[in-house]
Amino acid sequence: PVQQAAKEAVGKAADAARPDGRTDGIPGRPAPQPPSVVEPTEPKEPLPPKPDQSGPETFSPTGLPTGADQAAMAQDGAYLTTAQGGRLYESDHSLKAGSRGPVLLQDHHLREKITHFDHERIPERVVHARGAAAHGVFRGYGTASQVTKAAFLAKDVETPVFVRFSTVLGSRGSADTVRDTRGFATKFYTSEGTFDLVGNNIPVFFIQDAIKFPDVIHAGKPHPDREIPQAQSAHDTFWDFVTLHTEATHHTLWNMSDRGIPRSFRMMEGFGVHTFRLVDAEGATTLVKFHWKPKLGVHSMVWEEAQITGGMDPDFHRRDLADAIEAGAYPQWELGAQTFPDTPEQTFEGIDLLDPTNIVPEELAPVQPVGLLTLTANPSNFFAETEQVAFHPGHLVPGIDITDDPLLAGRLFSYLDTQISRLGGPNFAQIPINRPHTPVNDMLRDGMHQTAVHRGTAPYRPNSLDGGCPFLAGADTSAYIEVPVPVPAAEKVRKAPASFEDHFSQPRRFWLSMSPVEREHIIAAYTFELNKCYEQAIKERALQVLANIDPDLCGQVATGLGLPAPKPTETLAEVDPSPALSQVGRTWPVDGRIVGIVAGDGDGAVDGLRSVRQSVLEAGMVPLVIAPAGGKLDADGEPITVQRTFATARSIEFDAVLLAGVPAPADDAYGARDAKAGDTADSEGADPRVLRLLSEAYRHGKAVGGWAGAEDVLLAAGIPVQAPGVVVGEDGSGALQQVIGLLAKHRVWERFPAGV
């Protein structure tokens, strides 16, 4: 249907090219033809929205258009024009002295077109350059109103939002599925001005003081001589830094865990990281840590899957987010708050709340839900919205204030500053995506890219010429008033408090909270990354850090590095595990999960496929039909569109793979050769690409199975049919029910060597 619509649109555009009825303005030139669309496959079919997922209207409390609406205003009208609105009769050839003669400098259209193109790029973000974003809405539950006067958190208040997810280290064009921290930045266009919650998917940070930020980023970015490796932490400078700065141990451990390779942006937690301060209407304060809890649960890739995805589909997370929203499977997160009394020590149960390398376990301070975020619309233009959005932790609203976390202090400076070079001047708040949805009435004037036409003669206050306007607001009229917290009498020093020196008890808690299979992944990640380092001294120092977390972790990584395991130099802390940190052991909704169905070859195979495909849709999941070649599968009923071919289907795209009978044998020598290299299965008869699809999905802990003779194909792929998560049924419906149960747990964890 999408392609059909595209064809029609191209046809209509050609017809509409000339309102006067002619199809082309150039005499003697043939009328433009719609390009032929001969794609072998079709994109995913939209899921019908569930009743509770119907998209809330994106609206602005002030009635101003949202960023998306404004973007739609560009590129309008029937005729192609210059930037000055002059209509053009030709845009494909430069103005020349004769068709074989020199190009003339007087060609103002050529110069305008090329000059604009020359300046299309802006500097990418110095960190978090690679990202994807979406529009949505946030609804307050009202539960936070006891502790904050922030209007957007009040009961049933709906606020438009724009959320950008990102990786940290890679350039704009780098792969989505690299091992890295993910950004999770939310812009709330509230009725009291814009509030930005600029968080990450990992609740702690590498460093405790902003002055170290350039250092940690220089160490993580590619080496300055050859500019490699791209978007990786597996190199000497990164490990040099994090082993010389033991405060980085906790964040590094999270990165080496499954949290470093999320399955989807929709399946990530988000964290504000720092402790913030909430203020109620009476001025009473509470300390808070913000959390985003995904409705679909927290899920990750396995390492091999992430690596294959980097090559097969570097845009995997970006595509996944856009597809889900387009299909009506709107991603949702609950905003949660961990609150703590605002005592002079600013500690909770002995944990320093100003140290951003600390978490407070949820078992000690439960995360209380305060609102719901739903992403409902993809951006209309990547550059205008996703690239130009400018977040800043200093975009605060009444009811939310900062604390003295020294990392946050530096951020409050940095984000405003960086936009000036990235967005070319101080007026970036006028870019549609950055405009507040409240009236702006500032006295900031002029500067690069000034698009407002300010009126009045007295841009200063107080004034008598503009009637004293504008006036100041008070606490009763939503003015932002800083909490008058006392500042301790102290000497000016460059040093951290002694409480910032505990670098190992929190990482040890994280390690002890992991299930066996998660620990195995962590060991494999450290072993991989450190084996990619060249310097022996760095590996030895890393092992010493690991010894201070846990001797078993250290011992196993040491074995993988071929080095002796050192003894701890610190007393191992006595800490209770925090079960909430583990991603394994619970069940979650299967909405939007992708089920690959390989078409069978025999009689009745298409009918069986049709009914399972329908059941997958009814379960709120996305079926993708895989066949030897593109086109339609024909049988008695409606033809079924093939969405992936044996050449384009790869296991990483599917959460489960089902065989609707025995697939057609190998049909071309190229495909067979292509898959054979890494495949140990006996591929007699079956297409080796199907066998690779199955064996890879199996190896990655995914549900696999089928019906009507599928058993032999599974065996040929080297899959023991009695193994956990292998589903062989008489027919499709039985198999699918079992698959749904398996997908609710995300993966068949029992299949990994360590089990659950």
- Kindly list the residues in this chain that would bind ligand HDE in the complex (CB under 6 A): 125-128, 131, 164, 166, 183, 185, 198-200, 205, 210, 213, 273, 389-391, 407, 410-411, 414-415, 418
Name the minimum Å distance from CB 133 to ligand HDE: 7
Residue showing the smallest CB distance to ligand HDE in the complex: 183
Name the minimum Å distance from CB 410 to ligand HDE: 4
The length of the chain in residues reads 756
What 692-696 contacts at long range (C-beta under 8 Å, 24+ apart), as own/partner pairs, is: 692/651, 692/717, 693/596, 693/598, 693/626, 693/649, 693/650, 693/651, 693/657, 694/651, 694/657, 694/659, 694/719, 695/719, 696/308, 696/650, 696/651, 696/652
Name the minimum Å distance from CB 671 to ligand HDE: 40
Q: Where are the beta strands (DSSP E) in 571-652?
A: 594-599, 622-627, 632-633, 640-641, 644-645
Q: Is residue 172 marked as binding?
A: no
Between 273 and 606, CB nearer to ligand HDE: 273
CA 284 to CA 275: how far, in whole Å?
A: 16
Burial class of 113 by CB neighbour count within 10 A (0 to 12, 13 to 18, 19+): middle
CA 715 to CA 710: how far, in whole Å?
A: 9
The dihedral formed by the CA atoms of 351, 352, 356 and 360, expressed in degrees to the nearest 10: 30
Q: Which residues form the catalytic set?
A: 128, 200
Between 231 and 553, CB nearer to ligand HDE: 231
Q: Is residue 213 marked as binding?
A: yes
Between 239 and 292, CB nearer to ligand HDE: 292
Written as six digits, the tokens of 748 are 């068949």
Name the minimum Å distance from CB 445 to ligand HDE: 24
Between 168 and 278, CB nearer to ligand HDE: 168
Name the minimum Å distance from CB 481 to ligand HDE: 24
CA 296 to CA 593: how far, in whole Å?
A: 10
CA 386 to CA 378: how far, in whole Å?
A: 10
Between 436 and 701, CB nearer to ligand HDE: 436
Instruction: Give the three-state DSSP class for 748.
Output: coil
Name the minimum Å distance from CB 385 to ligand HDE: 11
CA 308 to CA 304: how far, in whole Å?
A: 6
Written as six digits, the tokens of 196 are 């930005």
Alpha carbon separation from 622 to 170, 387, 672 (Å, rounded): 30, 29, 28
Name the minimum Å distance from CB 199 to ligand HDE: 5
Between 162 and 526, CB nearer to ligand HDE: 162
Q: Is residue 415 marked as binding?
A: yes
Residue 317 has phi, psi (to 5 degrees) of -70, -35
DSSP 184-224: EEEEEEEBTEEEEEEEESSSS-S-SSGGGHHHHHHHHSPPT
- The 3-state secondary structure of 73-113, one letter per residue: CCCCCCCCECCCCCECCCCCCCCECCCCCCECCCCHHHHHH
Name the minimum Å distance from CB 17 to ligand HDE: 39
Instruction: Give the three-state DSSP class for 160.
Output: strand
Instruction: Give the three-state DSSP class for 403.
Output: coil
CA 82 to CA 113: how far, in whole Å?
A: 8
Between 175 and 407, CB nearer to ligand HDE: 407
Q: Is residue 613 marked as binding?
A: no
Query: 131-140 and 158-167 as β-strands: parallel, antiparallel, unpaired?
Result: antiparallel
Between 151 and 359, CB nearer to ligand HDE: 359
Annotated binding-site positions for heme? 125, 164, 213, 411, 415, 422
Annotated binding site: 125, 164, 213, 411, 415, 422
